[in-house]
Every structure is written in C-alpha cells, then in structure tokens.
Structure 1
C-alpha cells in the first residue's frame, strides 16, 4: 500500500464523473420539496424553475471556464483566492464547507424517517447514525468508493425520473387506461396559470434555486480523475439538457396532473401526489425508495464535498495543516472525519433542540448558494483577462462575456435584495450575513501577509501575490 502523504488520488473513472455530473446532487428537493414551490406559485412555478435553471446554467458556464482551464480540488474557492484575494477564497470556502456540513444532518434525518417507518424498532437517531457512519466509512477507503456509490445512486435517480416522465406523459396523452388524468387542463383551470401573481413566482425562485445547489460539485470531483479539463467541459456543456429534462419536464408533468392547490402536495410531495392520481400501485413505497436513494446520494456527496473543500483550504494554509494529510489511497482522512463529526453534532442538535438550535444553524446557510454564485461570477469576470493573456487553453468559454456575467451579478444582487424584503427569508439572509461577516473578519486576519506554502513556485504567483493551483 502507498504511504500516506498530502496528495489526492485520481481514482474517479470517466463513468463516475459522468453520472455525478448528470444526477449526483438531485435530492429530495425535486421528488418531495418541489411541492412547496408549486403551492407558492401554482403552475407558474415552471417560470421560477426556468429562471433559476437559466441562472445556474450561466454560473456553471463561468465556473466551467475557470475549472477546465485550471482544474482544482478547491474549485471556486481557489479561483476567488486568485481573482479577489485570499480573504475571499477563505470566506467562500468555509461558507461552502459549512453549507455541506449542514446538509449531512438534513439528509441523515430524512433517510432515518423513511427507515424508521419501515423498521420502527430502531429509533430515528440510530438510523441517522448508521447511515452517516456507513457512508463515512466508504468515503474513507478511497475516492473510487465515493464514485462507485454515486454512480449507482445517480443511475437509480435517472431511471426513476425518466420512468416518472414516461408514465406521466402517457397519462397526460390519455394513453394510460384508468389513470384519472385529463390532459393538461390543470395548468389553467384552477385560478389560471399564475394564480398568485408574479411576486409568488419570484418567491418560488428562492425555493427552486437551492434545489440546484451542488451542480458545481462535478468541478471538484473532476480534479480527482484523469483528464479533468475534458470531463469538466463535457459536464458544463450538458447542464442545459439536464435541467430541462430532470427539472422542467418532470415539474411540468406534476402541475399538469395535480391541481396546484391540492392538499396532497404538502402532505405527500409532488411525485407521489402525481402517481397517486395516475393510480400507480404502490406509489408511496416506490417514491420512498427513490427518496431514500436520493438523500443517501446527497449525504454521500455532502461528506465528499465538505472534506475536499477543507482539504483545499488546508493546502492554501487557510485551515489547520493536518486536514490535508491523506491516506495511501489519497483520501483526506482528517478532513472527512472532522466534517462528519461536525455534521453529526448538528444531527444531535436536530433531535435535541430542533427549534432552538437547529433552525438557527440551518438559517446561517440559507443564502450561501447565492453568495457562492456571486463569487463565481465576480471571479470569472476578473480571471478571464488573465487566462487569455497567459495563453492558457480554454476548452470552455462563457457566452457573451462580459455582458452575461454582469446580468448574473445584477440578478443575484436583486434576489438577495428581495430576500431582505420578504418576511419568510429575511431571517435566513440576516443569519447568513452575520456568519459571512464573522468569516470575512477571520479570513482577513488569517490570510494577511501569509507566506507562500512550501512547494509552490514563485512563477505560480499571480499579479495579486497569491499562488496558483493546488497540486492534486
């Protein structure tokens, strides 16, 4: 066995990265959580998904430009380091780590509820502990284990979504006998297409935006594969059809089949409500299995992503040096264990004090997705010129640069401003802002006059005095 060191392996295969990019981060938000957005905006939720999806397509294109030119395990955190300053890379890296650490208890609890319903002899907290420990162990062995689990998790999700689309389409077209579905009349027959006005659509954008969070993980995972630039380029080019098929097509069928104000949406979720109306036998059991796979996949990705971001921060001396120690298989063991430990403390908080503690913790990550997207856009705006001047090959280029980049920046600032005026999201924005200010202050103090890490050549320094890529 190879000796422990500080380098990651290139253990992800082409099929692993492909499936991670296609469906690796589709979680319960699509299968169940989308019902909240539907209840808010009605059939016009399709506009909300289109707006959020378009924004994510642009952000992924910008990130793909930077990542394909210089693949890095720290992804946008490293690019922010070079484009804006070390404090920015520090801030967005730790905020992103915190976001995924809090995904661990959320997904573990969702999985535990399903397993507890099947086998009530074990308490929910026991199931949450078991599933977290199992996926932690798989992440500790090798990155190939993470890739293999994600390959099959993602494959099952793709099959489930395509199966739902096929059944829903047959029902809407009247080709499914006894389905109880009559065309697409529900798009207009219950208060019209936009029953709650355009303001409700904008509110739904906030709900849908966070269901796309994680699309960027492929740029982190690809750094642990052969030919990462090629894989990143392919993933960012395919994001349009992925969003169109998995999100827009499936939600279109849901709102065509289920009246937007049907109480079953809030009770059973979007997919199960649609399948119940169609009359599919065992709809609840089928959806429970799919949701269990989806949350296990997101939990698996959360452990992986949090540990790699912490590892990258360690490589840039923005985290304790111990977190970048790797096993003989190139796994950042300390980073995995620390991320799991913090995540499981949040699991305990969720069961011990869900209203007093856990709600506040979750609120601190409420606007992190938007801050990450904003930093990606600003970084791309500033790095594009440097990439072109240096002659670095750019397999992926942002469309209509810099105009679309500025459109994204203005849109994100506008959404953040809307959050400040909306009662339901103001608390999340304030808590995230408070955490961000604290992290920024720590980042400025920590990265001020920092030395260049050993092993980084002087010619890798950019114009701002920061250093180049993390070697993986």
Structure 2
C-alpha cells in the first residue's frame, strides 16, 4: 500500500526566525530552546506508538458488539478522518516547526486567545489521561499480584516514568521506541496468525474462510446505525497521533523527520487497525461473547495460543505504559511552549543541563501522583469520573487543528508559499468535510444518554479555558502588549 504522503524534498528545517508573527502576540518564535536529540527511528515509532493503545486492544470489542462485521466500515471512516487530521498537522508543522505544534499554530492563525485555549485544553487532557493510563496499568498488575493494592502500582509507574522523562530526551525516545516495538510486533504476530487461520495454513486446523462476515445477521447486523455507533467508539482509538508533531521540534531535522514519520505511521496504522479488526470478525462470529470482551484474546484462544489472555495482558500493559510515557512527554512540551509564549508561568521555561524542561515535566506529572490519593480513596469510581471530565477534548483539539489549518494555509500561501512542502489534499473542501464530520460526531454523542456526561464535562472545560483566553487577550490589547 503506497503512502498518501508525498516524499519531502531534500531540505533542512525552515529558519524559525522567518516565521510569520503570531496574530495578537509579540512573543518570540517558539521551540528555539529545546535541543535536537530525537533520531529518525524515534520519530517513526513515536508516530506509530502514540496511536496504538488500549482503545485498539480492548475498546474495539465494544465497537464489534454494536456494529458486527460492519465495524470495518467504522474503522475505515475513522481512519480516513485521522489521515486528514494527520495531514493537516503535518502541513502546519513542516511549514512552521514549533514545540507547541497545533497550539502555536492556532496562535499564529487566530491570536493569543486561541493558542492559550487549545494549549491548556490539551495539557489538561494529557495530565488526566496520564492518571487514567497509570490506573489501567495498575489494574493489570494487580490481577497478577492481588496482594498489592492498585494505588501502590500507580505510584510506582508514575515514579518510574517521571524519572525517564526527567532524563535526556534521548532516554524518552529510547524508552518509547522499545515499547512501541513490542506493541507493533504483537500486532504483526496477530495478523500473521489470524491470516494463516483463515487460510487453513496452521497445523491441524481447517480453513476458517469468510463465512463469519456474512452469517449471524449479515455484514451489517444492526444496519448503518450500528456502523455509526461503532464509529463513535472507535474514533477515540486513534487519539495520540498529534504527539509526533510535538516531538518534531526536538528532532535533528524536523522537516524530513516529521514527513517520514507521518508517512510511515499513516499506512501502518491503517494496516494495523483495519487488518486487526478484519482478522477478529473473520476468525470468530461477531456476536461471540469473548469477542466483545477482548477480540485479540478471543482470536488467540481460538487459534490455540497458550496463555493467550496473559500474553495480551503483557502487551496491553506495554501499550498503557507507552501511552503514559508519550503523554507525559507531550504534556510537558505543551506547557513548556505555553510558558515560552507567555501563556504559563515563566519558571516552566527552565531547561536542565540535558535540555529537558524539568519544571514542566514535574508540573505535568503532579496530577498523576495526586491520582494515587484519588485511587486510594475512591478506587471504584475515580476512573469513570476522570474519563467523563475530558472525554471528548481530543476531538475538540482535532476541530481546532482543522479550523487553524484553514486559516493558516491561506496566510502561508499569501506570504511564504515555499514553506508549504506538505499540503492537505483537496483544500479547502476536505478540511471542511472533516470539520462537518467531527461536528456530527459531537452532536451524536450529545444526544446519547451514556455519552452526554463526557460532552458536558468537556464542554464546560472548553468554555472555561476559552473565557480565560479571551480575557487575557483583551487585557493584552488594552495594556498595549498584545
């Protein structure tokens, strides 16, 4: 499968000093302080690993339960939207590499209020997700060692990954590289075994064939409404794609590294996500109760892999720790960028001898450690409460990316068109289509009784930061500093 991203020309990183000034901001160009120590292989695996998490390994079972084999359509639609968002981020980040990525781009396009709002929203999402992932990892290990309370494991995981992120950025890159290798290797093994089972190429096994795709109610057992319901579940499985654009500011060659990483990530994610779901609904009937709990475990047990559940628990643990590691990195770089642009306390700009924004890391990890107390006090309810508080912030960030790309692309075409080395296809119509699709998803979530609390919680948080951002922007204009 050929990559949808064109090969970038041989060129070095754009001169940051030549970037257009941020609308409504007099701050210096961001990203100049962070050292370039992430290698190409780090960038490639960050691009892959950032979007491969618990949503694929476990959450996909819920999507299969509501869509049946039609979940393939749900994943294709979600993947197409993800590809568009990645392309938008890539276009802006290649043209204007910055530590704050889409937050910095929003500031350039719309003003300081936009950069403030989207930056703080994203940071809030990441710090809460860090706590959620630490809790999820703790639950897995608690299943192996029930004598140790989950809050103890949350504390240990938070401490270990904090140390990893306080070291040189190359340490973070290596840690993330090998965790991502484990996840990718597990999926490749799953795809190979599943394909052999379908073809009847495993020893002592008959060919499974494709009957499960059309039996048990047909390919769309719940109609197109089931496909839509599946889409509402799986779209969040692709969250995390933006981390590679944040990491680009610390790569040795942001333009080439980002282009190559995204080019690789796009087609591999399509293969891994859609291929995995194709194997799951082909090998087993979609309405098998085991598929709804964990399609990966169900397929491996059907094939006859010894200890399939424990094998997948190890992979899931690696996926959660990888996501925790990457999200801690992303949150620290986002708040560092906010501080660099005067939107967060200036102490967060301070770099260690190894070029790590340690204060930003410590602030970003603080809520994760606080979640240890929450988990100790309310172990059965805190997970859902945290999830409802930030449920759709990731989708809000994607909407901001699309809106920003619409405006920034026009600005760049007028001022410095040579920077547009990577372009979104079908501009502006595909961007507008993506915006309409995301607005429709939020609308559908708002009318769904189970999803409504997440929409309300995320909407309230968005309104809070938007209000603060606008107030700060107006004060700057009034004082003459905006």
TM-score, length-scaled by structure 1: 0.91
Q: Does the 8 Å contact 1:6/1:324 carry over to 2?
A: no
Q: Does the 8 Å contact 1:360/1:431 carry over to 2?
A: no
In 2, the alpha carbon distance for the partners of 1:355 and 1:109 equals 11
Gaps of 5+ in 2: 1-30
Deviates more, 1:175-184 or 1:397-406: 175-184
Which of 309, 314, 318 pairs up with 1:284?
Answer: 309
Q: Does the 8 Å contact 1:61/1:237 carry over to 2?
A: no
Provide the residue aligned with 1:403 in structure 2.
429
- Note the 1:218-257 alignment, pairs <5 A: 218-257=244-283
Deviates more, 1:355-364 or 1:164-173: 355-364
Q: Does the 8 Å contact 2:49/2:323 carry over to 1?
A: no
Provide the residue aligned with 2:365 in structure 1.
340
Provide the residue aligned with 1:11 in structure 2.
37
Q: Does 1:373 align with 2:373?
A: no
- Note the 1:268-347 alignment, pairs <5 A: 269-347=294-372
In 2, the alpha carbon distance for the partners of 1:104 and 1:349 equals 14
Other structure's SS at 1:116 match: helix
Q: Does the 8 Å contact 1:52/1:208 carry over to 2?
A: yes
Which of 102, 124, 137 pairs up with 2:163?
Answer: 137
Other structure's SS at 2:91 match: helix
Provide the residue aligned with 1:462 in structure 2.
none
Distance 1:40 1:82, change over 3 A: same
1:243 Cα deviation from its structure 2 partner:
2.4
Provide the residue aligned with 2:386 in structure 1.
361
1:198 Cα deviation from its structure 2 partner:
1.2
1:239 Cα deviation from its structure 2 partner:
3.9
1:202 Cα deviation from its structure 2 partner:
1.2
Deviates more, 1:333-342 or 1:23-32: 23-32
Q: Does the 8 Å contact 1:21/1:235 carry over to 2?
A: yes
Which of 198, 205, 209 pairs up with 2:235?
Answer: 209
Deviates more, 1:314-323 or 1:120-129: 120-129
Q: Does the 8 Å contact 2:132/2:383 carry over to 1?
A: no
Provide the residue aligned with 1:261 in structure 2.
287
Aligned pairs, how many?
A: 448
1:431 Cα deviation from its structure 2 partner:
1.1
1:229 Cα deviation from its structure 2 partner:
1.1
1:339 Cα deviation from its structure 2 partner:
1.1
Deviates more, 1:51-60 or 1:98-107: 98-107
Q: Does 1:109 align with 2:135?
A: yes
- Please give the per-residue CA displacement for 1:234-264, whole angstroms capped at 9, x wherever unaligned: 2233343122211000110011112212111
Q: Does the 8 Å contact 2:66/2:226 carry over to 1?
A: yes
1:107 Cα deviation from its structure 2 partner:
1.4
Gaps of 5+ in 1: 452-464, 467-472
Q: Does the 8 Å contact 1:27/1:298 carry over to 2?
A: yes
CA RMSD of aligned residues (A): 1.9
Distance 1:119 1:401, change over 3 A: same
Q: Does the 8 Å contact 1:318/1:447 carry over to 2?
A: no
Provide the residue aligned with 1:174 in structure 2.
200
Q: Does the 8 Å contact 1:180/1:278 carry over to 2?
A: no
- Please give the per-residue CA displacement for 1:276-309, whole angstroms capped at 9, x wherever unaligned: 1111112122111111111110010111111111
1:52 Cα deviation from its structure 2 partner:
0.7
Q: Does the 8 Å contact 1:41/1:195 carry over to 2?
A: yes
1:126 Cα deviation from its structure 2 partner:
0.8
- Please give the per-residue CA displacement for 1:60-90, whole angstroms capped at 9, x wherever unaligned: 1111100001111101111111112211111
Other structure's SS at 2:476 match: coil
TM-score, length-scaled by structure 2: 0.89
In 1, the alpha carbon distance for the partners of 2:396 and 2:120 equals 12
Which of 12, 19, 22 pairs up with 2:48?
Answer: 22
In 1, the alpha carbon distance for the partners of 2:440 and 2:455 equals 13
Q: Does 1:121 align with 2:142?
A: no
In 1, the alpha carbon distance for the partners of 2:84 and 2:172 equals 28
- Note the 1:141-156 alignment, pairs <5 A: 141-156=167-182
Q: Does 1:433 align with 2:462?
A: no
Task: Extract structure 1 runs of 4+ deviating beyond 4 A.
Answer: 354-358
In 1, the alpha carbon distance for the partners of 2:378 and 2:206 equals 44
Deviates more, 1:392-401 or 1:342-351: 342-351
Q: Does 1:185 align with 2:211?
A: yes
